[in-house]
A and B are shown apart, each in its own frame.
Chain A
Amino acid sequence: MGATSEALIVCEHCDTVYQRLALSRGEVARCARCGKVLQRHFRLSANAMLALIVTALIVFVQANMWPIVMLGLSGQHNSSTLWGVIIAMWREDAGVVSVLVAATLFFLPLLKMLQLGWLLWFARQGRRAPGFVPMMVGLHYLNPWTMSEVFVLGALVAIVKAHAYFDVTPEPGIYAYAALTLLITVFAGIDLRQLWRTPEVAA
C-alpha cells in the first residue's frame, strides 16, 4: 500500500477502518462500532444532480424576489421579502441577527448552489472543475450553515403568531420557499465526497 488508499474508509466518528464496498441501489453501509453512515448508494447521476441544482437555484431566486407573507390591519397592508427582513433587522439595531440571517439564508445557500452547479457541470464530463480543491474544501465547511428549511418553519410560526392580530395572506415567496425545502431535502443525502474520486488530470 502506498501513502494513501482509495480502497479503505475510515469512520469519521470512531476511527474504525473498513474496506470500501460496492453498494447496490438503496444500500447504506453503517459503521459496526458506532452506527455512523459510512457509504450511501449514489442514486443520481451528475446530470440529474445538476438538473436539481439548477431547479433549486431558480426557485431560490424566486423565493428571494417575491414577498413571503402580507399582513393587513385596518386597511393598511405590509409585506416583506427576505431582504426586507435583513434590512429591517439592520435598521432596528440588531446587526448581529441581520448578518446571521443574510449569511444562513442568502449568501451561504447561494454560494453552496453556485459551487455545486459549477463542480457538477464539469463532473458530468468526467473531469474536475477549475478551482475544484478549494471549492470542495469550502463546501465541507459551509455545509452546516445553510438554514433555509428552518426559515420555512419560522415563517409558519410567524404566520400563526400574526394571525391572532392581523389578516394574513401568504404570498408567492412562501410557496417558493416550501419548494426549495423539498429540493434541499433531496440533495441533503448526496455524499459530496464521491466527487473527489473524479480523476485529477484535466482534459
Chain B
Amino acid sequence: MNALPRAAELGLIGCHVCGLVCRDAHATAGVAEVVACPRCGVALHRRKPASYSRTWALLIAAFIMYIPANVVPIMRTASLNDIDDNTIISGVVELWKNGSPNLAIIVFTASIVVPMLKFLALGTLLVTSRRGSNWARPQRAGLYRLVELVGYWSMLDVFVVALLTALVRFSVLSRVEPLPGVIFFGLTVVLTMLASMSFDPRLIWDGRDSDD
C-alpha cells in the first residue's frame, strides 16, 4: 500500500471544492476551529462531515417519498367522457403499448431502475464502508461513480408530466393535469441526489479504525 500513499496518512488534505492540496492543520488548530482552504476559503475536511448519518438520513427520506411517488398517480388525462389517472409504472406500460417500446425502456430505466439502483447502491456502500470491509473495493468505487453519473436522469418523468400539462390544454376536449405523485417523485430525485453527494467515497477505502 505504500506505493499509493493516502493524503490522510501523509497529513495532507485535498480541498473538495478547488482541489488544492494543503497540509492538514487540524492537529495544530483548536478543536472547534474551522480550517479553511487558503485558495477558495471553503472549510477543509479530511472526510465529508457526518457522511454516514447525513447520507442515511437523506436516503431514508428519499425512500419515504419514493413510496407515494409510485403508488399515487402522477398525471391525469381527462377527455370528454373519460378520466384516466396514470402512475409511473402505468405510464410506462401505456408507452410500451401504443407508443414506442424503446422509449418505454428508457423511461422505465430512468424512473424505476435508476432510483432503485441508488437506494441499493448507496445502502450497500454505507453498510460495507461502515464495516471497513475490503470486499470488492474497486467495484464499489465504480458503483459510486455510476450513481453520480446517472442520478439526475430520473427527473425525466417529472419533465414529461410538466410538458404534457402545458401542452394538452384543449378546454373540455382534452386536458392533462399533474397529480401529487409527481411532486413526491421530484422530491425523491432531489433527495437521492443530495444523498449521493453527502456520501464520501473515500470511506470505501478507509479501514475499520479510521472512520470520520
Chain A residues with CB under 8 Å of chain B are 1-6, 8-17, 32-36, 68-69, 71, 73-74, 76, 78-80, 84-89, 92-94, 96-98, 100-101, 104-105, 133, 136-137, 140, 144-145, 147, 150-151, 153-158, 160-166, 193, 196
Q: Do B165 and A88 have beta carbons less than 8 Å apart? A: yes
Q: Do A154 and B163 have beta carbons less than 8 Å apart? A: yes
Indicate if B152 sits at the interface (CB-CB under 8 A). yes
What is the total of A-B residue contacts with beta carbons within 8 Å? 218
Indicate if B26 sits at the interface (CB-CB under 8 A). no
Within 8 A of A (CB), among B145-172: 145, 151-153, 155-170
Q: Do A80 and B155 have beta carbons less than 8 Å apart? A: no
Q: Do A12 and B16 have beta carbons less than 8 Å apart? A: yes
* Chain B minimum-CB-distance residue to A101: B162
Q: A17-B12, A33-B4 in contact; A97/B156 too (CB < 8 A)?
A: no
CA distance A73 to B4 in the complex (A): 65
* Chain A minimum-CB-distance residue to B196: A144
Q: Do B7 and A13 have beta carbons less than 8 Å apart? A: no
By a CB distance below 8 angstroms, the chain B residues around A101 are 158-159, 162
State the majority secondary structure of interface residues on B: helix
* Shortest Cβ gap from A154 to chain B (Å): 3
CA distance A168 to B142 in the complex (A): 41
CB-contact partner of A10 in B7, B137, B162, B167, under 8 A: B7
CA distance A8 to B5 in the complex (A): 12
Q: A9-B21, A147-B152 in contact; A158/B164 too (CB < 8 A)?
A: yes
Q: A14-B201, A14-B202 in contact; A92/B178 too (CB < 8 A)?
A: yes
Within 8 A of A (CB), among B163-212: 163-170, 173-174, 177-178, 182-183, 186-187, 190, 193, 197, 201-202, 204-205
